[in-house]
Amino acid sequence: MRLLLFALLFATGNVFAQTYPTKPVRIVVGFPPGGGADLVGRLIAEQLGKNLGTQFIVVNTTGASGTIAATAVAKAEADGYTLFLATTPLLLTPHLNNVPYDALASFTPIGRVADGPFGVVVLSESPFRSIADVLAAAKGNPGQLNYGSGGAASTSHFAGQLLRVMAKVDIQSVPYTGLPAAIAAVLGGQIQLAFTDLPPALGQVRAGRLRIIAVTSAGRVAMLPDVPTVAESGIPGYQLSIWYGMLAPAGMPKTVIDRLEGALSNTFRSPDKELIEHFAALGVVPAPLNTPDEFSLFLRKEFEFWKRLTGQVGANAK
- pLDDT tens digits for range 23-42: 999 999 998 898 889 999 99
Residue 111: CATH number of its domain: 3.40.190.150
- Long-range pairs for 302-310 at CB < 8 Å and ≥24 separation? 302/88, 302/91, 302/243, 303/91, 303/94, 303/103, 303/104, 306/88, 306/91, 306/92, 306/95, 307/95, 309/158, 309/162, 310/92, 310/95, 310/96, 310/158
Which domain range does residue 144 map to?
A: 117-215
User: Do 133 and 111 share a domain, yes or no?
Assistant: no
User: Which of the two residues, 17 and 187, has the higher pLDDT score?
Assistant: 187
27, 83 Cβ separation under 8 angstroms = yes
pLDDT at residue 88 above 50?
A: yes
The pLDDT score that the predictor gives to residue 113 is 93
Q: Residue 224 domain-assigned?
A: no
Distance in angstroms (rounded) separating the CA atoms of residues 43 and 58:
10
Q: Residue 268 domain-assigned?
A: yes
Give 210-238 pLDDT, tens digit per residue. 999 999 998 998 889 999 999 999 999 99
User: Do 136 and 199 share a domain, yes or no?
Assistant: yes
- 128 band by pLDDT with thresholds 50, 70 and 90: very high
User: Do 273 and 207 share a domain, yes or no?
Assistant: no
Distance in angstroms (rounded) separating the CA atoms of residues 67 and 196:
19
Going by C-alpha positions, the residue among 214, 236, 238, 217 that lies closest to residue 227 is 214
Work out the mean pLDDT of the chain and round it to a whole number: 90
User: Do 26 and 129 share a domain, yes or no?
Assistant: no
Q: Residue 188 domain-assigned?
A: yes
pLDDT at residue 4 above 60?
A: no
Q: Residue 228 domain-assigned?
A: no
Q: What is the DSSP letter of 287?
A: P
User: Do 129 and 110 share a domain, yes or no?
Assistant: no
User: Do 32 and 172 share a domain, yes or no?
Assistant: no
Q: Residue 37 domain-assigned?
A: yes
Q: Residue 57 domain-assigned?
A: yes
- 65 band by pLDDT with thresholds 50, 70 and 90: confident
pLDDT at residue 264 above 70?
A: yes
pLDDT at residue 87 above 80?
A: yes
pLDDT at residue 123 above 90?
A: yes
User: Do 33 and 169 share a domain, yes or no?
Assistant: no
The pLDDT score that the predictor gives to residue 2 is 52
Number of domains composing the chain: 2
Q: Residue 178 domain-assigned?
A: yes
pLDDT at residue 209 above 90?
A: yes
User: Which of the two residues, 20 and 312, has the higher pLDDT score?
Assistant: 20
Q: Residue 135 domain-assigned?
A: yes
User: Do 204 and 110 share a domain, yes or no?
Assistant: no
User: Do 41 and 10 share a domain, yes or no?
Assistant: yes
3-class DSSP assignment, residue 168 = coil
User: Do 106 and 251 share a domain, yes or no?
Assistant: yes
